[in-house]
Amino acid sequence: MGTSRKILRLSWVYLLLSILLFLLEFVIERYTHDDFIRPYVGDFFVVMLLYTLVRSILNISPLPTALVVLFYSYVLEFTQYLQLSRILGVDQSWIGRLILGNYFAWGDLIAYTAGILVVILLEKLFSVQRNQARVA
């Protein structure tokens, strides 16, 4: 009989990373009012936050998780291109802007992609280190 793998689990490492990334996002949102850090660095880290949140509760491999988070981010950005928040009438509420965003920007897609690429590289790096530690 094959081994059964639980899909739900709590990873304290990813949960801690999620909390740290959330705090970083909060600081960026609250105290940064420029044209680079807030829009692009914030988007770079927000995909990492989403990734670590998913990995903190779901036992799914890194690459599929990263690709789903990236796809989700692209879809959300596309809804901004379609001005879905305005169509739904939630563009004036802070929760609507938080969930659906305000406006479409190609740079956001680049920031999401860069953030996910860093996640994949870090996962690969730490996976190699864990495997080497097991062998040693």
Residues 54-103 pLDDT 10s: 999 999 999 999 999 999 999 999 999 998 888 888 888 877 776 777 78
- Widest CA span of the chain, in angstroms? 59
- Which residue would you say has higher pLDDT here, 85 or 46? 46
Classify each residue of 62-88 as buried b or exposed e, where b means 16 or more C-beta atoms within 10 Å of its C-beta.
beebbeebbeebeebbebbeeebbeee
Number of domains making up the chain: 1
State the average pLDDT over residues 103-121: 96
Quote the domain boundaries for residue 74.
12-135
